[in-house]
Structure 1
Amino acid sequence: MLYPPSLDRAVRMRAFHAPNGELGIHPEDVTTFLAACRKDRAEVLGWELWVIDHAWGDHINGPVKAPGTWCGGIPINGNKLPVVFSFCGDVDETERQFQSVDLQAEVLPDWLPHVRVNFTLAD
């Protein structure tokens, strides 16, 4: 399952749509996404952050502009190399984990508009 069936259409429309059908949810829509998971009894297995419309650039060891693609390396404050944010857990643990990540403090400001959240759900 790529997203819970009852997920609000507006949330789906705001989301980044990866070529394989996965969604990159806007951080402001995470609570709504998780509420739909609870309502539909969709099993959350984990989540990660994406930088959308960028791909990994081997020559710079970081994301490079590439419309329609995504990259898991997130440029953060205080680190020369991008970091991967990847977590495992059910819907409750996912909610706690996401609330503990301060995107405004961690992610370099120029990259914040490109950050999305991808969830792994059980089939």
Structure 2
Amino acid sequence: MTQPDNTPTQSLHPTPLINRVLAGAALGLVLISVFLLTADEPDPSWPQYWMVRPLLIVPMAGTLAGVINYALDFVRVQGEKQKIVANIASILIHLIGLFMGFVLGLDGTMWD
């Protein structure tokens, strides 16, 4: 007599964590790059490599938002209303995270 196979056929996480992390970091990098490339001449009192800080911090904020998006998958599988709430929360968390990344990255230079 064989045992029935009760393993779930659908994974809780349809997209791997690395894909969401890379997507969040890429979005942050693109946004801050466009913002910095369209900036006027930097103030001479700013450090020589002032652009390095925002180019590191904003993609890290996007990376963290990608991790949170991944973590919200457990809510998405609980039903249609929960999926909508999780998607809205994910978008808001991403926007707030990128905004905070911009503020922290540009603090002391363009954000004075």
TM-score by length of 2: 0.31
More strand by share: 1
More helix by share: 2
TM-score by length of 1: 0.29
